[in-house]
Amino acid sequence: MKVKTMTEPAIQTENLVKSYGSVEVIRNLSLDVPRAQFSAIVGKSGSGKSTLLGLISGLETPDAGRVLLNGTDIFALDDKGMAETRRRQIGIVFQSFNLVPALSALENVLLPVVFDDRLSKAEYEVRAHDLLSRVGMEARASHRPGALSGGEQQRVAIARALINQPAILLADEPTGNLDETTAAGVFDLLTGLTRDIGTTLLMVTHDMDIAAKADRVFEMKNGKVEQ
Ligand SMILES: Nc1ncnc2c1ncn2[C@@H]1O[C@H](COP(=O)(O)OP(=O)(O)OP(=O)(O)O)[C@@H](O)[C@H]1O
Ligand SMILES: [Mg+2]
């Protein structure tokens, strides 16, 4: 059996390839993301950053190559194993938020734990309210996404990604729609998780000031990364 060590990367990609039609977006990309650190991905629009996060989270399937999360080859898992890994180990903040329109902010935050019995429903609700407070959205808990601004939806999406206290948090420009003060608060919340509970944070950003604060910066170029 494989022994997991603290020094094993939280995320590894090995020779990943992904094309859309004739466009090769990810070209033989191998990457080690260190555990319990804040890593940033930068790169031009269209360079494949969101595609890479989609592959790492198992939402997109590679044409070739492997993704290992905490040493587990996620594409070797069956559907159930994949769904469970995604639900329990990974939190994702999508670039386009992906909130469910028919659900309130609170219900959206609780969505990842609907089938989870590690805590009671009441305990998850306490946690969800706490997260909504921390992103400044508690007063809007009962609002549906359609009644929220882009930045407000983004903050609800961040709370949703954290409800599971995931070991790995993937965030696609999580502060892209926020004013400076709110962005700073969200940034402190996310990086605080790395510092306080050892979350592995992988964040796509166009903001060089944010990237400068990362423990490691990966640049996407021509379907590959440079460190
Ligand atoms: N589902 C898809 N079908 C076809 N092409 C796609 C699809 N998803 C992404 N692409 C293409 O793949 C390339 C990389 O897209 P991706 O969204 O990963 O870029 P990005 O680096 O996240 O850009 P941005 O900074 O603008 O968010 C783009 O040229 C895009 O048009
Ligand atoms: Mg993108």
Instruction: State in Å: Cα 20 to ligand 2 middle.
Output: 15
In the chain, what percentage of residues exceed pLDDT 70?
97
**Residue 72 near ligand 1, beta carbon < 6 Å:** no
Q: Rounded to the nearest whole angstrom, what is the distance from the C-alpha of residue 137 to the centroid of ligand 1? A: 30
Q: Is the separation of the CB atoms in 116 and 164 below 8 Å?
A: yes
Could you tell me the two tokens for 225?
A: 């990364």
In this structure, are residues 106 and 141 in contact, taking their beta carbons and an 8 Å threshold?
A: yes
Q: What is the pLDDT of residue 26?
A: 97
pLDDT category at 6 given cuts 50, 70, 90 is low
pLDDT of the residue at 3? 56
Atom of ligand 1 nearest to the CA of 51: 18
The number of the ligand nearest the C-alpha atom of 42 reads: 1
And the tokens for 227?
A: 């460190």
Q: What CA–CA distances, in Å, run from 202 to 65, 129, 184?
A: 20, 25, 17
| Residues whose CB falls within 8 Å of the CB of residue 11, separated by 6 or more in sequence, listed in order | 31, 32, 33, 56, 67, 68, 69, 168, 200, 202
| Cα dist from 38 to 10, 24, 218, whole Å | 11, 28, 11
Structural domains of the chain, with CATH: 11-226 (3.40.50.300)
Instruction: Give the mean pLDDT of 13-20.
Output: 97
Minimum-distance ligand to the CA of 51?
Answer: 1
Q: Span 119-125, mean pLDDT?
A: 96
Q: What is the pLDDT of residues 83-110, one digit of tens each?
A: 888 888 999 999 889 999 999 999 999 9
